[in-house]
Structure 1
Amino acid sequence: MASGALAEDIRHKLGELSPAERKVARVLLAGYPAAGFETVAVLAERAAVSAPTVIRFANRLGYRGFPDFQAALRAELDERNASPLSLYSSAGFGPPPEGTDTESALLRHGSEVFTSAVTATLAELPPHDFEHAVRLLADGKRRITLVGGRFTHLLAQYLGLHLMQLRDDVRFLPDRDVERTAVLAALTRRDVMVVFDYRRYEDDKTTMSSLVQGQGGKVVLFTDTWLSPAAAHAEVVLPSQVSAPSPYDSLVPTLAVLETVVAGVMGTLGEEARRRMQHGEDIARRAGLY
């Protein structure tokens, strides 16, 4: 599955395209994003259509021509590969002018940015994917393994620690190579791997997702709106906005999704979850942990 906002737009509009335009769309999706940077003549030849068909395809997507489509694709790739440092430079973050009431302005801006991002994230989540994620995570016959990245390992731990209180067979992918290899080698059809991967995507997340899929397991992917390459191997993809008042991508919208997922798992497990929580509380008291 090609990953990216433009790829998603192309997929959504397949039904509106003519048969010849659909050939162009399929060639683009099969080779996304590289195929989008071919010349009109090369793309037309690969799709076995005329050059004007390629141009009409771009027009059908809302672009003035194929160069306009390529400019949008280039901008998407720039966003996908953005780092905090590049965002710091391009977005004008830095010391404010002297005398500026920065604290109150920043609080207002933060409120607007986070409110908008959380609202948009929850509104845009595909209900089917959300429900499927809840079903997979609540299925007691499945074993859950969670893995995150540079910052998103915090999200993996947050979700995992909640799930551990609600059900059995929840673990984190180990850090050490020998242990990690053993876990990956033992994956079967009963396994669900929950993967967190956001822009400046990490290659190992895509590799692990492919391994899980190849061994018959399921991948639940939490990612941004540009979609991690691991989406090609995921059973469920839950994208979140990452807008923030700083050059760092925000994890706040994803946290809102996680807490909603936890609520869904609790609702699905019902009394079973309550009994599990009660048992955990009893054991913790006897062990002097709480």
Structure 2
Amino acid sequence: MAPVTLAEDIRQRLGECSPAERKVGRVLLAGWPAAGFETIATLAERADVSAPTVIRFVNRLGYRGFPDFQAALRAELDERQASPLTLYAAGKYGSSAEAGQGEPSGPAGLLARGREVFTAAVDRTLAEVTPHDLERAVQLLADPKRRVTLVGGRFSHLFAQYLGLHLMQMRDDVRFLPDRPVERTAHLAALGRRDVLVVFDYRRYEDDKVTVAELVREAGGRVVLFTDTWLSPVSTQAEVVLSSQVGAPSPYDSLVPTLAVVETVVAGIIGELGDGAHQHMQRGEQTARRIGLT
């Protein structure tokens, strides 16, 4: 299971800090992660505190000093950018993995490990989703006055399609961001205040997702982000961030917890739309029968 990220740890610990230390924490979060690699003197100047205050702040987080804090930040950023290849090099996975002491080997061991990892990941993911973020995501995606556009990455585009197809059965004005350059450009250029962009972006994040989110925000629209615990750079543009654990018994990040979050959002949207969703689904079924798709 992924530990709490440094940024999240800082957010959670601000309430324990002195007023001067909170200034350091806020300056770090505002410029995260680059601010964490500045010198103590620069950080102290930006926070308008003394250098010893910066040191006391990182001590409060559990680090022996500022170099220790920066080393932890470097390690976290390396993990944030990890690929299946680097994860494979770091350990054994799959059916060839060595079972731990007392654990079954072979298929039985793999099933036991999968059950352990996926159950814990889903449980922790849903426990860490805040009711406010879930409620706001449901409100934005259920609002019939808003247009919804969805986009994902290498693998996560499958979840953008999964959520989008559900939304299409429940409401109008849902589409996927086109792949072809002319169509994509035209779509983005036409965005406005009533648009909601749903982005799925996981580690080894894709730069174009940040640009697309920036365009939506500049046009007055809203961004809902599904991401991992290290947080996509799109999070700086997002009104709602729904993060998930990605631990798996293989070197590939798991999207099983993400599916649980998506299914939870879908359930919320159905409840929010009420009879409107039911009527929309009925019209869809009737149309499908007319054209021979059922």
TM-score computed with the length of structure 2 as normaliser:
0.92
What one-letter code is carried by the residue in structure 1 that aligns with 2:25?
A
**In 2, distance between residues paired with 1:9 and 1:171?**
37
CA deviation vs aligned residue, 1:19-42 (integer Å, no higher than 9, x gap): 322332233223321221233344
| 1:234 counterpart SS class | coil
Q: CA RMSD in A?
A: 1.8
CA deviation vs aligned residue, 1:103-132 (integer Å, no higher than 9, x gap): 110000000000000010001001100010
Q: Residue 147 of structure 1 corresponds to which residue in structure 2? A: 151
CA deviation vs aligned residue, 1:148-172 (integer Å, no higher than 9, x gap): 0111110000000000000000000
Q: Residue 166 of structure 1 corresponds to which residue in structure 2? A: 170
Identity score, percent: 74
**In 1, distance between residues paired with 2:28 and 2:271?**
42
**Shift, 1:203, TM fit:** 0.4
**Shift, 1:219, TM fit:** 0.4
What one-letter code is carried by the residue in structure 2 that aligns with 1:239?
S
**Shift, 1:93, TM fit:** 3.2
**In 1, distance between residues paired with 2:89 and 2:30?**
34
Find 1:190's aligned residue among 168, 191, 194. Answer: 194
**Shift, 1:96, TM fit:** 4.5
**In 1, distance between residues paired with 2:28 and 2:256?**
33
What one-letter code is carried by the residue in structure 2 that aligns with 1:259?
E
**In 2, distance between residues paired with 1:206 and 1:54?**
31
**In 1, distance between residues paired with 2:141 and 2:49?**
46
**In 1, distance between residues paired with 2:89 and 2:201?**
24
**Shift, 1:11, TM fit:** 2.7
Aligned: 1:241 with 2:245? yes
Aligned ranges 1:35-74 → 2 under 5 Å: 35-74=35-74
Aligned: 1:31 with 2:35? no
Question: Which stretch of the first structure deviates more once superposed, 191-200 or 69-78?
Answer: 69-78
What one-letter code is carried by the residue in structure 1 that aligns with 2:123?
T
Q: Residue 106 of structure 2 corresponds to which residue in structure 1? A: 102
**In 2, distance between residues paired with 1:185 and 1:48?**
41
Question: Which stretch of the first structure deviates more once superposed, 44-53 or 135-144?
Answer: 44-53
| 2:220 counterpart SS class | coil
* Contact 2:93/2:249 (8 A) holds in 1: no
Q: Residue 8 of structure 1 corresponds to which residue in structure 2? A: 8
**In 2, distance between residues paired with 1:106 and 1:266?**
36
Q: Residue 93 of structure 2 corresponds to which residue in structure 1? A: 93
Report how many aligned residue pairs link the two structures: 286
CA deviation vs aligned residue, 1:47-95 (integer Å, no higher than 9, x gap): 3433221110111222232222122211210111000000000123374
Aligned ranges 1:193-272 → 2 under 5 Å: 193-272=197-276
* Contact 2:197/2:223 (8 A) holds in 1: yes
| 1:13 counterpart SS class | helix
| 1:141 counterpart SS class | coil
**Shift, 1:260, TM fit:** 0.8
| 2:162 counterpart SS class | helix
**Shift, 1:279, TM fit:** 1.1
**In 2, distance between residues paired with 1:187 and 1:45?**
40
Q: Which runs of no fewer than 5 residues in structure 1 stay unpaired? A: none
Distance change >3 Å, CA 244–CA 230, structure 1 → 2:
same
> 4+ residue runs of structure 1 moved beyond 4 angstroms?
none
What one-letter code is carried by the residue in structure 2 that aligns with 1:217?
G
**Shift, 1:134, TM fit:** 0.4
| 2:198 counterpart SS class | strand
**In 1, distance between residues paired with 2:15 and 2:213?**
30
**In 1, distance between residues paired with 2:119 and 2:250?**
15
TM-score computed with the length of structure 1 as normaliser:
0.94
